[in-house]
Amino acid sequence: MSAPRFLLTRLLARTVVGSILLFLAFPIAVVFVVSFSSANYLTFPPPAFGLKWYVAYFGNADWLGPTWLSIFVAASVVLLSTTLGTLAAIGIPRLPGPLRVVASGLILSPLIVPVILVAIGIYYTFSRYGLIGTPIAIVLAHTCLAVPFVMTSVSASLAGIDSRLEQAALSLGATPVSTFWQVTVPLIRPGVLVGALFAFITSFDEVVVSLFLSGSGAITLPRRMWDDLQFQIDPTIAAVSTLMVVLTALLLASAHLLRKRTERLRTM
Amino acid sequence: MSVPTTILPSRLVRGSREWGAWKRALPKLTPLLLAAPLLAYMVVFYAVPVVLMLLRSLNDPNWSLDHYVGLPGDTVFLRTFWITLSTSFVVTLSTLVLGYPVALALSRARSSAPLILILILLPLWTSVLVRSYAWMVLLGRHGLINEALLALGLLERPTRLLNTTLATEIAMTHILLPYMILPIANALRQVDPSLARAAAGLGATPWGIFRQVILPQSMPGVAAGVLLVFVLALGSYITPALVGDSREITLSMLIAQQVDQLNWAYAASLSAVLLATALGLIAVAQRLPGVGNAFRMNLR
């Protein structure tokens, strides 16, 4: 192939990939811009910029209440799913074959089972016990959805542990329990924290389960946004969305830094 | 070693024979004890509720298959199922066409790899609600796309883009694209670069190398991406409800409607069909060579 033709192909390839990446990023960028609009209705590009919609959000108890509830729910989900998930991630690889397959299948299945099934299944059962409209119901349900992310993250960091470190501790006279606390736990801590971050995002962003379980007593932030979107698309949602994207970006950045730390620990 | 089950607690004292038996059995029991809390949790708060709900399709009002026998002749179900399948198919195809070039670029990029990865991961972890809202802003009657088409003189008055099946397909392509890119990029990264060099040394053209060396080796990743996107699209609810045509609903939306009307038996039979379709596809795909491994990719 001649050089000019090669360069042309390369340019074409970059343009194609660049425009697909633009397609991925552009809608979110538009929401960012709209959130700083000064207009009272949705128009693009905005006539002028301002913080009007952020003021509207932070000054309204109808938005802040659900926000705090979502933070509370997500934090509870993190505690529950990280504790249960970490213990299980340590135990499951050492279970006998068939039990291991069934156990990991059960725990990872929320990743592929359509979420509407989880939502209405839990709604169906919880409504008999008067749990609809309580934060506890949402925490219990979100934990099921968050646990697979904790499991995969902790399992990955456990698989990366150099088993000679544990053997060395045992041969130097450490008991299995103190080896676990003093060698294994520090090595998997970044993996556990990454799992916790993804559990937080999973719960904080979750809509479908909340639609069924929040009733009128436990309105989460995504449920509040959903209700708003049914009637109007006022730019307050753009402000809320922007804050959510910024929070997600911060959490992802922390996860990235933690993962780098895991890699450093592995090469130690 | 079997666990002694008949010992009395009072005899279980340090130094006794029973204590020794317990101490020897404990390492074998530890994995089960560690996994048990989560397994019990998932059974009680996830498996049992979903199964109880699904059982309503069989035991309401008494045990029978009536709720399934009616489905093949049920035009509402058939239409919804067809819309769900065809939308999933279109979305899978478009994510594949758009995702493959990005996966290829990602697997080859050096300095720009972190930027590409951020552009893929940030949308992936952004709330589905936020991304659907973004498309409402773009596709609305006075949205960016209508305004741009008007300004360019391609339209005389705003056209209906939002609340159409096309809107669902575009928004879902955007939302599910990362799930296609990541497994394909994963498979491409594992292709041995010396194979491509060897092919080039033997006189293959770049296109020939791609078609005969790289493409075949990326197929497990493609299969995993196709499966993942199709299964996720099958269960879609939020996006079609917000940007789609309200007359062309998906199976998940029909299920939610039926639950609202307390038609639990019908909702349960629809749920069983949805679950069986998803699990059936996964079972078939797992038998394809290499897909099982590629499917266990990192979702982050």
What is the number of alpha carbons within 13 Å of residue A170 lying toward its C-beta? 9
Residue B8: which pLDDT band, with cuts at 50, 70 and 90?
Answer: very low
pLDDT of residue B19: 65
The enclosing domain of A149 has a CATH number of 1.10.3720.10
Q: Do A176 and B27 touch (CB under 8 A)?
A: yes
Residue A7 lies in a domain: no
Note whether B39 and B79 are same-domain residues: no
Q: Do A91 and B136 touch (CB under 8 A)?
A: no
Residue B65 lies in a domain: no
Residue B126 lies in a domain: yes
Residue A48 lies in a domain: no
Residue B203 lies in a domain: yes
Query: A85 CA to chain B: closest CA distance, Å?
Result: 7
The enclosing domain of B86 has a CATH number of 1.10.3720.10
Cut 0.95: pTM above it: no
**What is the ipTM metric for this complex?**
0.90
Q: Do A87 and B38 touch (CB under 8 A)?
A: yes
Residue B102 lies in a domain: yes
Note whether B236 and B262 are same-domain residues: yes
Of A234, A239, A207, the closest CA to residue A221 belongs to A207
Of A44, A238, A60, A74, the closest CA to residue A141 belongs to A74
Note whether B95 and B55 are same-domain residues: no
Stretch B209-218: mean pLDDT: 88
The pLDDT tens digits of the residues spanning B79-90 come to 999 999 999 999
Q: Is A235 on the interface with B (CB under 8 A)?
A: no
Q: Do A84 and B41 touch (CB under 8 A)?
A: yes
Query: A161 CA to chain B: closest CA distance, Å?
Result: 18
Note whether B85 and B38 are same-domain residues: no
Q: Report the residue from B37, B126, B255 with minimal CB separation from A120.
A: B255
Note whether B148 and B19 are same-domain residues: no
Of B214, B221, B222, B216, the closest CA to residue B195 belongs to B214
Stretch B218-226: mean pLDDT: 92
Note whether B40 and B143 are same-domain residues: no
Which residues in chain B have their CB less than 8 angstroms from residue A229's CB?
Answer: 129, 133, 136, 242
Residue B153 lies in a domain: yes
Residue B249 lies in a domain: yes
Note whether B235 and B259 are same-domain residues: yes
% of chain B surpassing 90 pLDDT: 55
pLDDT of residue B300: 33
User: Where do we find the tokens 């059936």?
Assistant: B280
Cα A218 from Cα B21, distance rounded (Å): 50
Residue A113 lies in a domain: yes
**Domain count across chain B:** 2
Q: Which of B26, B59, B96, B129 to mutate to test the interface with A (most CBs of A within 10 A)?
A: B129
Note whether B257 and B152 are same-domain residues: yes
Residue A141 lies in a domain: yes
Cα A147 from Cα A86, distance rounded (Å): 9
Note whether B30 and B169 are same-domain residues: no
Q: pLDDT truncated to tens, each residue of chain A (268 aa)? A: 566 777 888 889 899 999 999 999 999 999 999 899 888 777 767 788 889 899 989 999 999 999 999 999 999 999 999 999 999 999 998 888 899 999 999 999 999 899 999 999 999 999 999 999 999 999 999 999 999 999 999 998 888 888 888 888 888 988 888 888 888 888 899 899 999 999 999 999 999 999 999 998 999 999 999 999 987 767 889 999 999 999 999 998 888 888 787 777 666 5
The pLDDT tens digits of the residues spanning B79-138 come to 999 999 999 999 999 999 999 999 999 998 888 888 899 899 988 989 999 999 999 989
- For A7, the 3-state DSSP assignment is helix
Residue B290 clears pLDDT 80, i.e. is over it: no
Of B165, B290, B285, B144, the closest CA to residue B219 belongs to B290
pLDDT of residue B298: 39
Cα A122 from Cα A119, distance rounded (Å): 6
What contacts B172, CB < 8 A, 6 or more positions away?
Answer: B87, B91, B233, B236, B239, B240
Cα A69 from Cα A54, distance rounded (Å): 19
Any idea which of A39-48, B212-221, B259-268 has the lowest mean pLDDT? A39-48
> Which domain does A227 fall in, by range?
55-266
Query: What is the rounded end-to-end Cα distance, in angstroms, of chain A?
Result: 47
Note whether B48 and B170 are same-domain residues: no
- For A49, the 3-state DSSP assignment is strand
Residue A32 lies in a domain: no
What contacts A47, CB < 8 A, 6 or more positions away?
Answer: A37, A38, A39
Cα A252 from Cα A265, distance rounded (Å): 20
Give CA separation, A22 vs A15, A30, A213, in Å: 10, 12, 36
Q: Three-state SS across B219-242?
A: HHHHHHHHHHHHHHHHCCCHHHHH
**Domain count across chain A:** 1
Tokens of A208: 């479908």
Surface of B (105-164) touching A: CB under 8 A: 105, 116, 119-123, 125-131, 133-138, 140, 142-144, 147
Which residues in chain A have their CB less than 8 angstroms from residue B85's CB?
Answer: none
Cα B216 from Cα B222, distance rounded (Å): 10
Cis peptide before B289 (omega within 30 of 0): no
Residue B291 lies in a domain: yes
> Which domain does B53 fall in, by range?
9-59
Q: Do B46 and A122 touch (CB under 8 A)?
A: yes
